[in-house]
Structure formats: structure tokens, C-alpha cells
Amino acid sequence: MKIQYAVSLLILLLPFSVRTVQAQTFYDTKPIPVKTVREGGKWTLLRGGKPYLIHSGGGGDTMIALKKAGGNAIRTWGTETLIRNLETAQLLDMTVCAGIWLGHKEHGFRYDDPKMLAEQKANVRRDVLKYRNHPNLLVWALGNEMEGEGKDDNVWKHIEDLAKMVRELDPNHPVMTVIAEMGENGIKAKKIAELCPSIDILGVNSYAGVHSLPERLKAAGWTKPYIITEFGPAGWWEVSKTVWGAPIEQNSTQKAKTYAENYRKAVTEQSGWCLGSFAFLWGDKMEQTPTWFSMFLPETGEKLGPVDVMSEAWAGKKAENPVPEITSFDSSLNLKEIESGAKSTATCIARSPMGAPLRYRYEIRPEDNKPASTLPGQVAPSAVEGIVPSVSASGSISFTAPTRPGAYRLYVYIYDGKGGAATGNLPFRVK
């Protein structure tokens, strides 16, 4: 580990009491044993012999903020940044659920190709041998949503082959595989139970359906523990749409309530079965919109409502400096197809639980004409300049709609000046 990086991070961590770690490789450190145990019909994740319930957000770019909010772990999807993640976790006394990316059929990977399977297995072996002894490693996660509809037994047989190898190479850490929901009639959970006995934990990415996930797991006959590896607002593929096909997004205050309720049903009420969760996304990401899954504002980094409700769930107390809340947000063009250059209005009403003065900022962005995708690295279309007033003290604005035909969204951002914000958007279409 670079000393300069360590010193900089330690400065940022104050006032946390953290121990300095000396430069070292990860090949000769002593692991802290982690295992799943079942007693009296209840499952527990033990780390160093002590119960460990995962409180976390998916992603690792803002680990200090996660620690302050009461989080204790992060999840990665691949090993590209695992060295940095483990180093930071060690300084913060956190842990890492280490994802190992596995090939997807839609990206050209073939689970009936022996050569591809052998190469993938060699890569998994390499990564496990490299990081298995790090004390802040928590769980291995084989793949993320690589199973498609879940009907191809070749996928599950390969997962079992990998899981068996990982357990032999590293008896100190459980092995999980991560699926996208459960498939028709719970087929994915059923297949894993049948064909992957070496899998210790089932990881499930679930959004609109997460509140019913425990019931559906029971119906599928899943008896081992599970972790909710992604959850958040309903996905853009799961919500109502406008007549021209634009998905309708909740505002950040509505999303906060969704996070809280889903966490209660799928995690808190499943004590002894659910080993924790990773709220998505602890950071920001462009996916359909710049704000759909973002728990922090893009670019400026203010926290949004979901951060506060997860902090309360993890730490058991109200968040300090709670974010603004949106009471209402509407516009004369909301969900409508309008004429080019139409005169329009919008009003957002918000409140600060702290009584802080609020600043409103508006912008209009065209919709991305590319097919919707979950891939990382997408870039949001630039805001249209010179149409809406950029700042409003009252939350109300008048403006002229764009003249260029196409689909757009009107965004509002509310700031409290203390690191908290709220946001919402309304889709419309210019004829």
C-alpha cells in the first residue's frame, strides 16, 4: 500500500479511531474466519466467532460516508479494485464482499464451451489465492446476474464446480452466488438448491419484488441463508410508463420510504435467515436517468433521502442533519405531449426538517435515445441550456419548453446547504 495514500485516508477518517496498517502484500496476512452457522433453525454469519449482520450499500467509492452512516461492509462486482477496497476497509474496520465477475451469455460467453469454462475457472482460482488471507475479506460472490432465465443447467454446474474449488482453496470464507430475482416459479433458487450444494449463501438482486422475496424463497424451498445483494426503488423496467414509453421515476423522498419499508420486510423481519443487505447504489450512477438508483447527487455528492433511512436502520437512531423532503412537485407539462416552445410552469414544495433555508435548481435534459441498459459507465445527456431559470428561491418557475421535438425530463434539485438534498423529475415530450 502506498504510504501517501494511507496518510491521506487517515486524515480524512478523523475523528474515527483507526489503526495504522503497515505496507504488506495480501499473501501472508492472517484471515479472520467467517462462516455461516445454524442453531435452533436460525442462521447467523459469524466473523471471528461473533455475529455479523451486513449493513451496507453496493459500491465502494464513498466508504467513509458509509462508515459514518453505520455501514460495516461493501460489495464489489469484480476484482479490478479489490486491493484498494480491502486496504480501505482495513483502515475503516469494515469488510468486503468480494465479487468475482463471471461471463454473461449476452456478452458472448458460452457455458457449453470447455475452453471458456477452464479459463474462467483459472481466473477465479487466481483471485481466490491472491486475496483469501486478507483479514477484511468477508464473503466470496461468484458472478452477478450471469444466469439469464435460469434454465440452463450448464450455468449451475459450472457455478458448483467453481464454488467447490473456492471452498477447498479458502475454508475461511463462505461462497455466495448472485442472481437477478428468482425467475419463473422460483426456478433459479430451485436450481441452485439442486445443483449447487457448495453454495453457502444465496445473493438476490431484487427491486420491486423485494418485499415479497422471503415468501417466494420459502415457496421455492430455499432453506440456506440469503443476502439481498441489491435493492432500492422499483427498477425502470418495473414501473408505469408514459404513452411514449418513458418510465416514471419516484422522487427521492418517495424512494426513501420505499427503501425503509423494503428493508423492514426483507431484512429486519427475517432475522435468522437474511444475513444482511446492500442498498443500491451507494454513490451515483447513470441508468435510465442520472438519479434513478443514485443515493447521492451526481457530480456534487449531496446525500439523498435513502441515505438517511438506511443510516437509521443500521445505527438505530435518526440521522444527523436530515435531508430536505419533497411535499409536492408538478408542472403544466408533466406526462404530456406538448407543442414546440409551449409556455410552461413548474412548482416544487419542500421542507427542511432542520428548518434550513432551501435552494431550488431546475434543468431540462433530453432522454437518452439509446436502448436502456444496466451497464456501468453510461453518461447522462447534457442539460439543455437557457430554457429554465437555474435557481429559484420559492420553488416555482415559468419557462418556455424546448423547440426541438423529442422526449425530455424536467429535473428539480433542492439543497439545504448542509450536505443534504432532494430531487425529482417529470417526463414530457415535445411533438
Q: What is the pLDDT of residues 124-147, one digit of tens each?
A: 999 999 999 999 999 999 999 999
Distance, in Å, from the CA atom of 415 to the CA atom of 418, rounded to the nearest integer, reads 8
Whether the per-residue pLDDT at 276 is higher than 80: the answer is: yes
299 vs 102, higher pLDDT = 102
Which CATH number is associated with domain 325-430? 2.60.40.10
What's the mean pLDDT in 326-338? 97
What is the pTM for the complete model shown?
Answer: 0.91
Q: Is 165 exposed, middle or buried (0-12, 13-18, 19+ CB in 10 A)?
A: middle
Residue 363, C-alpha cell as written in the block:
434543468
Q: Which residues contact 259 (CB under 8 A, 6 or more apart)?
A: 231, 232, 233, 279, 306, 309, 310
Other residues' Cβ atoms within 10 Å of the Cβ of residue 90:
21
Residue ranges of the domains in the chain? 3-315, 325-430
Above 80 in pLDDT, residue 277?
yes
What is the predicted pLDDT for the residue at 389? 87
- The cell numbers describing 394, all together, are 420559492
Distance between terminal CA atoms of the chain? 56
Least confident of 49-63, 282-296, 309-323: 49-63
Distance (Å, whole) CA 227 – CA 188? 15
Indicate the class that CATH gives domain 3-315: alpha beta
Instruction: Kindly give the pairing relationship between strand 201-205 and strand 175-180.
Output: parallel
Provide the CB-side half-sphere exposure for 209 (13 A, CA): 16
Mean confidence (pLDDT) of the chain: 92
Exposed/middle/buried for 103, CB within 10 Å: 0-12, 13-18, 19+?
A: buried
C-alpha 305/C-alpha 314 separation (Å) is 15
Say if residues 141 and 75 touch (Cβ distance below 8 Å).
yes
